[in-house]
Amino acid sequence: MSIDTETAAKVAKLARIKVDPAELPALAEEFNTILGFIEQLNEVDVTGIEPMTSVTPQRLKRRDDVVTDGDQQAAVLSNAPDAREGFFAVPKVVE
């Protein structure tokens, strides 16, 4: 599998990271180095093996579905780059 600059641009877009078009060829090359390393996994016979989903076999803990927290608006917003009137503020989303 070889990644071209077009694929690199697509991945950057999916990851929401702006990449200067001039940097795309180098980025594609780095991806290819790493994916080349990963390709070794194709040597392994994984027939009949289930993908590992849990590190230790355990049922995830559950708790009662009740409110345990609240009234933390100031704490929640305290690190926001832009908070107004009790909300996170962002650029216009819908035209």
Partner 1 sequence: MSDLNKLTIAAARDGLRKGDFTATDLTEACLSAIEVAGALNAFVHHTPEVARTQAAAADERLKGSEEAPAMCGIPLGIKDLFCTKGVPSQAASAILDGFRPEYESTVSQNLFDAGAVMLGKLNMDEFAMGSSNETSTYGNAVNPWKADDGAQRTPGGSSGGSAAAVAADLCLAATGTDTGGSIRQPAAFTGITGLKPTYGRCSRWGIVAFASSLDQAGPMTRDVRDAAIMLGAMCGHDPKDSTSADLPVPDFEAALTGDIRGKTIGIPREYRIDGMPDEIAKVWEDGTAMLKDAGAKIVDISLPHTKYALPAYYVIAPAEASSNLARYDGVRFGHRAKLAPGDGITEMYEKTRAEGFGAEVKRRVMVGTYVLSAGFYDAYYNRARKVRALIKRDFETVFTDGVDAILTPATPSAAFPLGMKHDDPVQMYLNDVFTVTVNLAGLPGIAVPTGLDGQGLPLGLQLIGRPWEEGDLLNTAWSLERAAGFVAKPAKWW
| Binding interface with partner 1 (CB under 8 A) | 3, 8, 11-12, 14-19, 27, 30-31, 33-35, 37-44, 46, 49-53, 55-56, 58, 60-61, 63, 72, 75-76, 78-82, 88, 90-93
Alpha-carbon distances of 32 from 23, 52, 57, rounded to whole Å: 15, 26, 35
For residues 30 and 11, the answer to whether their CB atoms sit within 8 Å is no
User: How far apart are CB 3 and partner 1 at their closest, in Å?
Assistant: 8
From the number of C-beta atoms within 10 Å of its C-beta (0-12, 13-18, 19+), residue 8 rates as buried
User: How far apart are CB 59 and partner 1 at their closest, in Å?
Assistant: 10
Closer to partner 1 by Cβ: residue 5 or 11: 11
